[in-house]
Amino acid sequence: MIKNKNKYDHLFKNVSPASMSGIHIFGADDDYFKPQKYNDVTNLENRIWEDLFINVIPLIDQYVCREYLLGMRTLPIPKDRFPEFDAISPLIENSTNWQLVPVSGFLTEDLFFDLNANRKFPVTDIIRKSPRFEEKYSSESIHNEEGYTPEPDIFHDIQGHIPFLMNKPYADFMHEVGILGDNILKDERRLGAELVSHNLRRLQNFAWWTYEFGLIYNNLDTNHFRRKENDMEYEIYGSGIISSFDETLNVINCAKGLSEKSKILPYDIEEIVMTSFNYSEIQDRYYVVKSMEELYKSFKNNQELFWFEG
Ligand SMILES: [Fe+2]
């Protein structure tokens, strides 16, 4: 687990306090595996899914990148009810050898990267704003809103991430990130706990500004998959944007010059790994890669950034 205070913290930029207090975090020793009970999903939960989906899908269709759109076209992700993990997982396994693993909630970094290193993607079957969600956090005071959840829910996990795992280069990239996280945590280079924790935070920053909140330059070729042409300079590939209507709208408004709330910056891996983020706000910046290939290549060629030795 990443500790709160680390002697290398001062090296990070953009540090703002982000509280995770109150969130249940499951580790490898906990009973984290939790099969989906699809028949127990209530009408209300299905309706929450439908509302979220219908709200965001016109924007997604117009502005999300090619990899996502193609994955979405091929997976049984329904618009009006919860997706069924057992219907999706074999299709992904057949395409890229990844599997869905149903889990109880937020996982420790160790467990998360360990699963990814084995081409397993953890997914939860609880949805924001539902009675089940409220019950889980009945003893805590936390945000639980349409545009934001304190922990990943089924909408973020499935609608935000899973279509990408149908794409081989993307799936391999996610696997490599998992392996690196695993290797950092095993302290392969015997750097000691403080540096392990610092390097892991670098990798989390990288993940945050790329596959969670990244943009890519508009690839005009993608337009023939869309119902409506993309009229901004970028496409969205960050899963954290895709699963939030508010965040998606913010990206569009900033990209079109209608808002100055967030900066849109060129991708720079050295800057990204040293830039912290806040879980609980609309992001103050988005980094743009030229192409997904640029992202994969830069990750491959800059592994030493994640092995800082002090
Ligand atoms: Fe995520």
What pLDDT does 4 receive?
61
What pLDDT does 150 receive?
63
Give me ligand 1 centre to Cα 127, in Å: 14
> Is domain 23-306 in CATH 1.10.800.10, yes or no?
yes
- In DSSP terms, 17 is beta-bridged to none
What are the residue ranges spanned by the domains of the chain? 23-306
User: Range with the lowest mean pLDDT among 30-34, 61-65, 305-309?
Assistant: 30-34
Amino acid letter for position 24: H
User: Range with the lowest mean pLDDT among 44-53, 101-110, 299-308?
Assistant: 101-110
| Two structure tokens written together for 31 | 């009973």
Give me ligand 1 centre to Cα 243, in Å: 9
Secondary structure (DSSP) of 90-137: HHHHHHHS-EEEEBSSEE-HHHHHHHHHTTEEEE----TTSHHHHHHT
Give me ligand 1 centre to Cα 212, in Å: 6
| pLDDT tens figures, 152-198 | 899 999 999 999 999 999 999 999 999 999 999 999 899 999 999 99
Give me ligand 1 centre to Cα 156, in Å: 6
Reported as a pLDDT band with limits 50, 70 and 90, residue 5 is: confident
- In DSSP terms, 122 is beta-bridged to 101
What pLDDT does 279 receive?
79
| pLDDT tens figures, 198-239 | 999 999 999 999 999 999 999 888 999 899 999 999 999 999
Angle between helices 168-185 and 193-207 (to 10 degrees): 160
- In DSSP terms, 95 is beta-bridged to none
Give me ligand 1 centre to Cα 135, in Å: 22
Burial class (CB in 10 A: 0-12, 13-18, 19+), 70: middle
Task: Round to whole Å and give the CA distance between 20 and 43.
Answer: 30
What pLDDT does 61 receive?
96
What pLDDT does 56 receive?
95
| pLDDT tens figures, 105-120 | 889 888 999 999 999 9
In 3D space, the residue among 210, 218, 206 whose CA is nearest the CA of residue 286 turns out to be: 210
What pLDDT does 11 receive?
92
What pLDDT does 207 receive?
96
Task: Round to whole Å and give the CA distance between 310 and 109.
Answer: 22
Give me ligand 1 centre to Cα 170, in Å: 14
Give me ligand 1 centre to Cα 253, in Å: 23
Place of tokens 């290398």: 8
Amino acid letter for position 153: D
Give me ligand 1 centre to Cα 77, in Å: 17
Give me ligand 1 centre to Cα 84, in Å: 19
